[in-house]
Copies of this chain bind each other. A is one copy, B any other.
Amino acid sequence: MTYCVGMLLDRGLVFMSDTRTNAGIDNIATARKMHTWEVPGERVITLMTAGNLATTQTVIGLIDERTKAPEDRSPSILEAPSMFQIARAVGRTLKEVIADNAEGGAQASAATFGATMILGGQINGSEPRLFLIYPEGNFIEASADNPFFQIGEAKYGKPILVRAYDPAMSFESAIKLLLVSFDSTIKANLSVGLPLDYTTYEQDSFHFGQQGRITADDPYYQTVSNGWGEALKTAFSHLPDFSFETR
């Protein structure tokens, strides 16, 4: 599996992805699942992927090739007029790759080759936008009511996102929140693993903000991981115990 989160903040967008891939539990590797394109001053695009690695790498490869061959009949994501059109193009490409892989193969269904993606970015002249793209090629958009998307092993890390997300938070707080969510997931599920990639994008800047990779020996990661465990235990001990007497 995988775990990726894309988040819409008042000040822009923030993305985090793990890097573990596995084909069975005895065949694990590290692969980048966060891909970014930038036309400085004009547009920034981030795409994160979860699912079949052959599918996602093919999709990324096709998208990336088109950006370098502008005479291609399919419009490049660097030329599409809106994030909405980019979401449509990515969704169409994803659907085609899945159908292509599934077709004629022995005993393999479309689900085997499935993948889900988070797309976010901004094009000069419109707002930052964030989309969740399904293997069927269709997609939904984030909004104030639904301001973040998770793909992959999303359940373990969801409760803290639900409780602590705040649209006004700083990028520094958002990275902290994402690290807590990722750490809860990593502690509970072997298929999600360090290092973690992150990217921030400040609204109307039209170039990426901070981009980096957090490894297992990162001191800040260790502070969050240990500190959160302790903080949870303290918070838990401060809640009043259940009482059988008052029942």
Contacts and interface: CB of A to CB of B under 8 A. Distances in A.
Interface of A: 153, 155-160, 162-164, 170-173, 175-177, 179-180, 184-185, 187-189, 210, 212, 220, 223-224, 227-229, 231-236, 238-244, 246-247
Given A159-B187, A187-B162, A243 B180 contact: no
A231 B223 contact: no
A171 B137 CA distance: 50
B236 A180 contact: yes
A239 B242 CA distance: 28
Contacts of A233: 163-164
When all copies of this chain in the complex are counted, the total is: 2
Contact of A243 (B155, B164, B172, B241): B172
A65 to B, nearest CB: 32
Contact of A156 (B155, B228, B234): B155
22 contacts: A155-B188, A155-B189, A157-B159, A158-B188, A159-B159, A159-B184, A160-B232, A163-B229, A164-B233, A164-B236, A170-B241, A172-B241, A172-B243, A172-B244, A175-B241, A176-B240, A220-B243, A223-B239, A223-B240, A224-B239, A228-B239, A232-B235
